[in-house]
């Protein structure tokens, strides 16, 4: 199992991020939120992910950077849940949305629950139902 988080898995394109916010769908598990959108078929990676922590809740960059590091780490350790269960490539944006300072263990647990909720939502989409009928 590959637990790396290489550069080509990082979501950096401003146009892709803009499309995520305009056309993307969302799934939440307090205090985390995942905004996702199916990527183009010619995408070389199955998942591209970006991480964000609101300046509204954490004024100091040190605090925001800490939670971004924790979110990236929980993604890195649990991305196998996503990679094993999806066929299409996806672009994801991962948010920490509270001023509560949760521990790493709590955030990790919530991340796993969020990924499971995301997979349920993606696998029940109308596009996947059409493919299953064929």
CATH number at residue 15: 3.30.230.10
pTM of the entire predicted model: 0.87
- Does 118 map to a domain? no
The enclosing H or E element of 20 equals helix 14-23
**Cα-Cα-Cα-Cα dihedral sign, residues 84, 88, 91, 96:** negative
Measure CA of the first residue to CA of the last residue in the chain; give whole Å: 32
Which is nearest to 95 in space by CA: 39, 14, 10, 28?
28
Spell out the per-residue pLDDT of the chain, length 134, in tens: 788 988 989 999 999 999 999 999 999 999 999 999 999 877 788 999 999 999 999 999 999 999 999 999 999 999 999 999 998 999 999 999 999 999 999 999 999 999 999 999 998 866 544 444 44
- In the chain, the number of structural domains is 1
Is there a contact between 78 and 115 (Cβ–Cβ < 8 Å)?
Answer: yes
- Does 106 map to a domain? yes
The enclosing H or E element of 120 equals helix 104-123
- Does 104 map to a domain? yes
Those residues whose C-beta lies under 8 Å from the C-beta of residue 55, and which sit 6 or more positions away, are 64
Determine the structural domain holding residue 90 and report its residue range. 9-110
- Does 122 map to a domain? no
Indicate the average pLDDT of the chain. Answer: 90
Dist. CA 72–CA 78, nearest whole Å = 10
- Does 121 map to a domain? no
- Does 102 map to a domain? yes
The pLDDT score that the predictor gives to residue 126 is 61
Q: How many CA atoms lie within 13 A of 45 on its CB side?
A: 15
Which is nearest to 119 in space by CA: 73, 74, 88, 98?
88
- Does 77 map to a domain? yes
- Does 62 map to a domain? yes
Dist. CA 45–CA 43, nearest whole Å = 6
């Amino acid at each position: 199992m590959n637990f790396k988080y290489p550069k080509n898995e990082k979501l950096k394109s401003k146009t892709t991020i803009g499309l995520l916010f305009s056309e993307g769908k969302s799934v939440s598990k307090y205090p985390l939120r995942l905004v996702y959108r199916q990527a183009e078929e010619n995408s070389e990676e199955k998942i591209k992910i970006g991480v964000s922590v609101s300046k509204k809740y954490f004024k100091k960059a040190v605090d925001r950077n800490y939670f971004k590091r924790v979110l990236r780490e929980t993604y890195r350790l649990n991305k196998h849940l996503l990679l094993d269960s999806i066929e299409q490539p996806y672009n994801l944006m991962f948010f920490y949305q509270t001023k509560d300072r949760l521990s790493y263990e709590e955030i990790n647990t919530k991340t796993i629950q969020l990924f499971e909720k995301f997979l349920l939502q993606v696998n029940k989409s109308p596009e996947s139902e059409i493919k299953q009928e064929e």
